Amino acid sequence: MALDVNPDHARPWIAAANPSHPSLIDTTHCTDELFGFINVPMAVWIDENGMLVRPAETANIERSPLRDREIPDGLPDRLAKMMREVKEIPDDSESYREAIFDWMRNGADSPYVMSPDQVVDASRPISNDHARAAACFAMGEHLRRTVGHDAAVPWWREAHTLFPENWTYKRQAWTLVTTPEGATENDLIQGPNDVYDGNWLDDVVRLGGGKSYAVRPRFDRPER
């Protein structure tokens, strides 16, 4: 499920993947609030009865090749710093993949399945600022769609201030102002710009660096 306010940005990727599973697009980021997503990739597990059995957590299933890529000499300073931070992002892909396989094999008997109370307790804490940020992001997206991009900016700036740890609000907004007009793919560098105070690299560093960037899956839960 793609978190993309413009569905045409997600469709080429879906077409290229030619998936055998449903592929959805959430143009309002409503699943941020319904499931607790604050970055991508994140996932929730839902059982046959429609119950969440794991809360929102980082959902890599393979090691990113960026982790092992050498940083070339002469790379622009900001790009080199970005690559260093990316290498610091914790890699839980192997254990997460194994957990998925275990759930597929064992269903409710999998040790990775949480009880309803455990799922709620393991979901992230939410403050009034976080909840207000959700309202501000939704308002911004509504106005972007119905009035124009500039109408969204004050609301999205407010959302970024209220909930800086929500990367979906920030990365979504940044890429719309840092991607050159006519580009076929979104800008992933999301560098300094004239519209928003933040940018990917400086915000990652400010919030603790790559090692703090992901919501790591927790497999150390108590027995049910």
Partner 1 sequence: MILTSLRVPVAEFTELTGWEPKPEGMCRGEVCVPAPGALDNGTVNVEAAAERLGMPLVHDPKHKVWALGVSTATGRALASARAIFPSSLIDGTSNTNSNFDFTSLRGRRMIMVAWASW
* Residues from 131 through 150 that contact partner 1 (CB under 8 A): 131-136, 138-139, 142-143, 146-147
Q: Which of 66, 75, 126, 207 binds partner 1 (CB under 8 A)?
A: 126
Tokens 């109408």: give the residue: 151
- Minimum CB–partner distance for residue 52 and partner 1 (Å): 5
Other Cβ atoms less than 10 A from the Cβ of 23: the count is 15
Q: How far apart are CA 87 and CA 117, in angstroms?
A: 34
- Minimum CB–partner distance for residue 7 and partner 1 (Å): 6
- Minimum CB–partner distance for residue 195 and partner 1 (Å): 15
Nearest to 161 by CA among 132, 204, 190: 132
CB-based contact 79:189 (threshold 8 Å): yes
Interface of this chain with partner 1, residues 62 to 101, rule: CB under 8 A? 100
Indicate the DSSP class of residue 188. Answer: S
Rounding to the nearest 10 degrees, give the CA dihedral for residues 10, 91, 202, 127.
80
Task: Choose between 48 and 68: whose C-beta lies nearer to partner 1.
Answer: 48
Coil, helix or strand at residue 217: coil
Task: Choose between 74 and 128: whose C-beta lies nearer to partner 1.
Answer: 128
Stretch that binds partner 1, among 45-53, 63-71, 76-84, 85-93 (CB under 8 A): 45-53
Applying CB under 8 A, does 125 fall inside the site for partner 1?
A: yes
Applying CB under 8 A, does 177 fall inside the site for partner 1?
A: no
Q: How far apart are CA 189 and CA 80, in angstroms?
A: 11
**Distance in angstroms between the alpha carbons of the first and the last residue of the chain:** 30
Task: Choose between 91 and 165: whose C-beta lies nearer to partner 1.
Answer: 165
Applying CB under 8 A, does 56 fall inside the site for partner 1?
A: yes
Q: How far apart are CA 54 and CA 74, in angstroms?
A: 43
Applying CB under 8 A, does 11 fall inside the site for partner 1?
A: yes
- Minimum CB–partner distance for residue 136 and partner 1 (Å): 6
